[in-house]
Structure 1
Amino acid sequence: MRRDTLRLLALLLPAGIFFAAFFLLPMVRLFLIGGSGKLGWSAYATIVTNANYFSSLVATLAVAAATTAATLVISGIAGVFLQRHRFPGNATLVAMLTFPLAFPGVVIGFMVIMLAGRQGLIGDITQMLGADKLVFAYSMAGLFTGYVYFSIPRIILTVMAATEKLDPKLEEAARSLGASPLRVVLDVIIPGLKPAFLSSGAICFATAVGAFGTAFTLATRINVLPMTIYTEFTLSANIAMAAALSFVLGAVTWAVLALARTAAGTSVAAAG
């Protein structure tokens, strides 16, 4: 027994060293820097009491939550359909839907500008139809569009993998008992995919909370926490406040991921 314990410790040691070096120590250092400024440890309370910081935090969480909800709906429907229906061009369509994984945030920001910017396609179409030129790339709506675009691949692949493990006999049994297609979706498919939705949704939320490149490209009228941190660090040279904001952002993201992991469990329900 003692030898097995030593072997287990030997196997866990590299992971422990990696965790301490690249996560624990940097987070501790960030936390200490956050309390080293003029405001001291009250800098962490300032995030809530300062109107600008608080509105930035709320806007960040709101756009991340909206992005997660929209992406789960779009990717959930598309993922189940593409996994259950094979047709010519299926693989090509899946590849196109997952292609945004190759794009950095700045590129996605420029794509949103080309779509809904001052010279964008949507504005040209609305003008052709006789309406005012529609421009929303430089607002939270533009940021939301970009976030949904690069979040779809992260969820759709997870949904497709989870759908493949669903037992089709459960759906057949529900139909044989008189369940409508809607009831099959609500009572069989969605509960079966719940762990996949929770885990991929948490990753989507965390990615949207911390995304910087897209927000930086579209930052004319956008006030989200990554941009606030950038401003505090580069323009105001307020390193302590930037560190405090970064720590809070990291803590919120970690909490969401931990809760989702706990709720999702370790297996996919209704798997065959």
Structure 2
Amino acid sequence: MTATAVGRSGRIRREKSVLPGFGITLGITIAWLTLIILIPLAGLFLKTATLSFDHFLTIITSTRVLNALKISFGIAFLAALTNIVLGSVVVWALTRYEFPGRRVFDAIVDIPFALPTAVAGIALTALYAENGWLGGLLAQLGIKVAYTPLGIYVALVFIGLPFVVRTVQPVLQDLDGELEEAASSLGASRFQVILRVVVPTLLPALLTGFALAFARAVGEYGSVIFIAGNLPNVSEVAPLLIVIRLEEFRYADATAIAVIMLVASFVLLLIINRLQAWSEAHRRP
């Protein structure tokens, strides 16, 4: 990285960075991102471009596609919101309190990271099926989880929780406890301390965790197909519909659905990033 400085003549001159290698590392970064991300995405758009505009609209506005997109994005959004709340509670307990087994619980949070998605889907299905441990109890209350959209929600909450916890945890650990004590000494209630001191500090991290959990949930496939039931227009997610179209050799249809998911995800993530930047700007003194 280079620094800039203004000389006596008024011209801007560049000073060499203490650490060399900026050009090499930038070149490797651009080349790697191009190979791994940009070229595959370009191929996706090029394949979709083979469709006429009318055919493209017919594909993405069909009832089955619209319902699949609605289920994927809607339930992913609800699951990410849930993880914001539950993840914050988990982080607070792991960070602010000492209790037996805290390190064990802290390690358990990372299990969805390491667990294969198919294994997670099978485990959740066995647990929440009507003859499962939790599913049997819920069935007595008239609540069916497995093979319903509620099962998709449970799976997405499961795989998204670590993203929120691991994003918020270091920020809460670095939060100076003296700020909370100062607010309390000035007469603020515990609720006011959390609302006006803790939450504004954690808000950028919470938005980042929400974005990561949402992005992972939208594209989740392995853990969902086992517990969803995969009924068209009822519990079929968009990634599964893409796989079905590929198995039917309808490649253009599959890429059209993928492009819509990509664009929608990009727009939502862009909005979240702007909110994060706005929050950080207003948090600075």
Place the TM-score, normalised by the shorter chain, in its bin: 0.7 to 0.9
User: Hey, what's the Cα distance between the residues in 2 that align with 1:257 and 1:3?
Assistant: 36
Structure 2 partner of 1:168? 177
Structure 2 partner of 1:82? 94
What SS class does the counterpart of residue 147 from structure 2 fall into?
A: coil
Structure 1 partner of 2:81? 69
Preserved CA contact (<8 Å) 1:43 1:241 = no
Are 1:159 and 2:165 counterparts? no
What SS class does the counterpart of residue 218 from structure 1 fall into?
A: helix
Identity of counterpart residues, as a percentage?
26
Alpha-carbon deviations, 1:132-175, whole Å to 9, x = none? 67532111101111111121122112221110111222211221
Unmatched runs of 5 consecutive residues or more in structure 1? none
User: Hey, what's the Cα distance between the residues in 2 that align with 1:64 and 1:43?
Assistant: 28
The letter for the 2-side match of 1:201 is F
Aligned ranges 1:218-237 → 2 under 5 Å: 218-220=227-229, 221=231, 222-234=235-247, 236-237=248-249
Structure 1 partner of 2:275? 263
1:97 Cα deviation after fit: 2.4
Preserved CA contact (<8 Å) 1:195 1:269 = no
Preserved CA contact (<8 Å) 2:138 2:144 = no
Structure 2 partner of 1:114? 126
2:42 alignment partner, one of 16, 28, 32:
28
The alpha-carbon distance between structure 1 residues 269 and 74, as it changes in their structure 2 partners (threshold 3 A), is farther
Are 1:254 and 2:266 counterparts? yes
The structure with more helix, counted as a fraction of residues: 1
Structure 2 partner of 1:217? 226
1:194 Cα deviation after fit: 0.5
User: Hey, what's the Cα distance between the residues in 2 that align with 1:48 and 1:202?
Assistant: 24
User: Hey, what's the Cα distance between the residues in 2 that align with 1:48 and 1:228?
Assistant: 12
1:231 Cα deviation after fit: 1.2
RMSD: 2.6
User: Hey, what's the Cα distance between the residues in 1 that align with 2:47 and 2:194?
Assistant: 50
User: Hey, what's the Cα distance between the residues in 1 that align with 2:164 and 2:83?
Assistant: 7
Structure 1 partner of 2:9? none
The letter for the 2-side match of 1:239 is Y
1:239 Cα deviation after fit: 0.3
User: Hey, what's the Cα distance between the residues in 1 that align with 2:107 and 2:118?
Assistant: 21
What SS class does the counterpart of residue 9 from structure 1 fall into?
A: helix
The letter for the 1-side match of 2:47 is I
User: Hey, what's the Cα distance between the residues in 2 that align with 1:132 and 1:9?
Assistant: 63
The letter for the 1-side match of 2:185 is S
Preserved CA contact (<8 Å) 1:35 1:43 = no
User: Hey, what's the Cα distance between the residues in 2 that align with 1:44 and 1:7?
Assistant: 46
Are 1:17 and 2:31 counterparts? yes
Structure 1 partner of 2:106? 94
TM-score normalised by the chain length of structure 1: 0.87
What SS class does the counterpart of residue 178 from structure 1 fall into?
A: coil
